Amino acid sequence: MLVNYAQAILKVGVNLQNGQKLVVNASVDHKDFVRILVEQAYDLGAKEVLVVWNDTYITRQKLLKAPEDVITNVYNWEVEMAKSFLDDGAATISLVGSYADLLSDVPANRIGAATKARQIAFKEIMERTMMNKNRWCVAGVPNPEWAKKVYGTEDITHLWKDILFMARIDEAGYEKLLAHLERLKNRKDYLNNMKFEALRYEGPGTDLRVELPKKHLWLSGIEHDVNGVPFLPNIPTEEVFTAPSKYGVNGRISSSMPLVYQGNIIDNFWFEFKDGKVVNFGAEKGEDVLKELINTDEGASYLGEVALVDITSPIYQLSRIFYNTLYDENAASHFALGRAYPTCVEDFSGDPEKDGINMSLTHVDFMVGNDKMNVYGIKDGKEYLLMENGLWKI
């Protein structure tokens, strides 16, 4: 099944082509699966596979003890290396785990400073990625700390089982994943055909209206790079999403799940929006970290994504918090603070303001959906029920 998972990431995720370079970003904890992935990539005809390793424990020591001019420094060679991969047409796979509370004792302002410095340095890389100029895929791989946070034991066996279940991978391969992607496409097509002017959300702690840009496009599952080659950016994926109108968000929204941001947990939080901007917020846990996030730049206090996910998602059905945004965002409908995907606008002009979408250094998803939330599409003064008690009605 791990081979099947690797093949799904390579064939469906980045749709690796014969003779193409591949970059894999991974934690040192993921080495066993990385070896399977690299073997499968070469068997599929990869020209070269480059692995870029990271270690959150080493990052923690740096954030705690290094001078601030060190934690905010990004070497030119780091950026140039990433650019050179993309210039060569490489596909990128990012394998993610979760270290939940590992950075909880690092001051929020130091995490914020380090994060912002890297976001500024890698701005061009992020823009190219969000424009789908290169194919990319994010997928989960267990690590002991993640397993302990979710199940109370560092044995990763149960976590592997759930990861494969959520990705719709089994002994036969990934046919269930492909069938699921087709269902998402049908919902995406309905929403694009309807061309709603706005969405309205109602539920516990939530009363929100979200206007949509005139040229908005709903996306789901399979996307296409600038050359028209299909790929799947996230495994798992349950969402149908678009970009909201930057200045058209008004009302209140409450979180339905914790958000893990830069190794810290933000929980039971809420936002109030006026003319698109966060004008008030609060959190029972991690409010200082949430403040750092919102203050990343001007665009971080506006929304860049609106995504609909219904509660038949296998992630929601597991009734667990995974403390990893890739999974928790696919358990429920969500929004993202920060940068919008330009691909969510038809014939993007290159000017976000002109097209009515947000621009920022950051893009952070947070979950709002639950079994008591209703979502309506608004068109010509009429409301259409899209989701009732968290379930699709289309």
Residue 5 sits in a domain of what CATH number? 3.40.1830.10
The whole model's pTM is what?
0.82
Q: Is residue 264 part of a domain?
A: yes
Q: Are strands 249-254 and 264-274 parallel, antiparallel or unpaired?
A: antiparallel
Same domain, 147 and 54: yes
Mean pLDDT to the nearest integer, 320-324: 88
Radius of gyration of the chain (CA): 20
Task: Name the phi and psi angles at 7, rounded to 5.
Answer: -70, -35
Cα–Cα distances (Å) from 138 to 11, 97, 122, 215, 300, in that order, read 13, 11, 17, 27, 22
Q: Is residue 230 part of a domain?
A: no
Q: Is residue 111 part of a domain?
A: yes
Q: Is residue 116 part of a domain?
A: yes
Same domain, 103 and 150: yes
Task: Name the phi and psi angles at 18, rounded to 5.
Answer: -60, 130
Same domain, 125 and 41: yes
Same domain, 22 and 162: yes
Same domain, 367 and 252: yes
Same domain, 34 and 140: yes
Same domain, 148 and 110: yes
Q: Is residue 214 part of a domain?
A: yes
Give the helix, strand, coil percentages of the chain, each rounded to 5: 35, 30, 35
Q: Is residue 25 part of a domain?
A: yes
What local confidence, expressed as pLDDT, does residue 319 receive? 86
What local confidence, expressed as pLDDT, does residue 254 receive? 96
Q: Is the pLDDT of residue 262 over 80?
A: no
Mean pLDDT value across the chain: 93
> How many angstroms separate the CA atoms of 231 and 16, rounded?
9
- Residue 92 belongs to what domain range? 1-172
Using pLDDT thresholds of 50, 70 and 90, give the confidence band for residue 318: very high
Q: Is the pLDDT of residue 132 over 90?
A: no
User: Lowest-confidence range among 106-110, 177-181, 190-194?
Assistant: 106-110
Using pLDDT thresholds of 50, 70 and 90, give the confidence band for residue 350: confident
What local confidence, expressed as pLDDT, does residue 24 receive? 97
* Residue of 273, 261, 331 lying closest to 304 (CA atoms): 273
What local confidence, expressed as pLDDT, does residue 321 receive? 85
Cβ proximity of 23 and 83 under 8 Å: no
The residue type found at 216 is H
Q: Is residue 182 part of a domain?
A: no
Using pLDDT thresholds of 50, 70 and 90, give the confidence band for residue 119: confident
Q: Is residue 81 part of a domain?
A: yes
What local confidence, expressed as pLDDT, does residue 23 receive? 95
What local confidence, expressed as pLDDT, does residue 265 receive? 86
Same domain, 196 and 285: yes
Cβ proximity of 36 and 2 under 8 Å: yes
Structural domain count of the chain: 2
